[in-house]
Amino acid sequence: MEHVFAVMLVWLLAAAWIFLLVSWAITGEVSAAEAALGSTVALLLALASAQRAFPQVVPFSLATLGGGAIALPLLRAYLNRAAHAQMDAELIERACLAYEFDPKNYGALINLAEVCYKNGLLEQAVHHLACAIQQSPIMAANEKRRLRMWQDELQHRPKQGYTPCLHCGARAAVGAVRCSRCGHLLLPLLVQGRWVPRRLAHAAVKVWAIAVAAGALSLFWREQLMGLSALVAILTTLGATLGLIVWVVRKS
């Protein structure tokens, strides 16, 4: 009876996996190939559990699908935040270019300040907002109140006193928008640089599928082979799996 209940739970988790992956493929959050790969692995685990294809298949399937059911929503939330960071990076890049074209551009300074504050770059946000207020002190009543709030917040945070360049490692002034050493814009890299590229995060589905297949195959070798033969087969499987995962990550 316990086995039947465990198998039913495996099928329920597999169905949830397939539903989520198909839904995300429809909305474009994962590719059709990634959805098909993940769904196939989930279905194979459910079938293997029902037929007791190898020892410990049910606990293995429960751990794999259960862990994935927790990781998938986290991955989705991460990808959404990364997408927002990408949009912020594009917005701040346009603001930087507008500021370079005209350092007195009030709108560009406000955009720089707002995006910097949103992404935790408080020193830069305070600097650019103060510069914006200097350009238009009469129109900036709301900005003055916001500046005082940000300055109070900055007093309770450790200050760097510079803007780091994530491209070459140089330290620029807090108000700088471009690195004097390498010539790259500073702020877009700071906004986007803390996030793993979306294409690399998408590789997590493929890596998961490869790891599951390797785990199942290792359990199969352990049951079918004996002694040194089993050890060699398992080590070969794990080595090939590691190489395949590295290849997938690099390709991504």
pLDDT tens by residue, 180-231: 888 888 888 888 765 555 566 567 777 777 887 787 777 777 777 777 787 8
Q: Are residues 207 and 110 in the same domain?
A: no
Q: Are residues 188 and 86 in the same domain?
A: yes
Q: Which of 26-30, 62-66, 120-124, 225-229 has the highest mean pLDDT?
A: 120-124
Q: Are residues 181 and 210 in the same domain?
A: no
pLDDT above 90: residue 57: no
Q: Which helix (H) or strand (E) holds 97?
A: helix 57-101
The whole-angstrom separation of Cα 37 and Cα 35 is 5
pLDDT above 60: residue 47: yes
For 85-97, how does the pLDDT look when each residue is reduced to its tens digit (9 = 90+)? Answer: 888 888 888 889 9
Q: How confident is the model over 149-171, as a mean pLDDT?
A: 87
Q: Where residue 176 sits, what CATH number does that domain have?
A: 1.25.40.10
Give 130's pLDDT tier (boundaries 50, 70, 90).
very high
Q: Are residues 138 and 229 in the same domain?
A: no
Q: How confident is the model over 46-57, as a mean pLDDT?
A: 77
- Per DSSP, the three-state class of 171 is strand
What predicted TM-score, i.e. pTM, was given to this entire model?
Answer: 0.58
Indicate whether 217 belongs to any domain.
Answer: yes
Q: Are residues 158 and 180 in the same domain?
A: yes
What total of structural domains would you count in the chain? 2
Indicate whether 246 belongs to any domain.
Answer: yes
The whole-angstrom separation of Cα 34 and Cα 223 is 30
Q: Are residues 121 and 92 in the same domain?
A: yes
Domain span at residue 86 reads 82-192
Q: Which helix (H) or strand (E) holds 105?
A: none
Indicate whether 30 belongs to any domain.
Answer: no
Q: Are residues 174 and 204 in the same domain?
A: no
Torsion 237-204-188-116 (CA) sign: negative
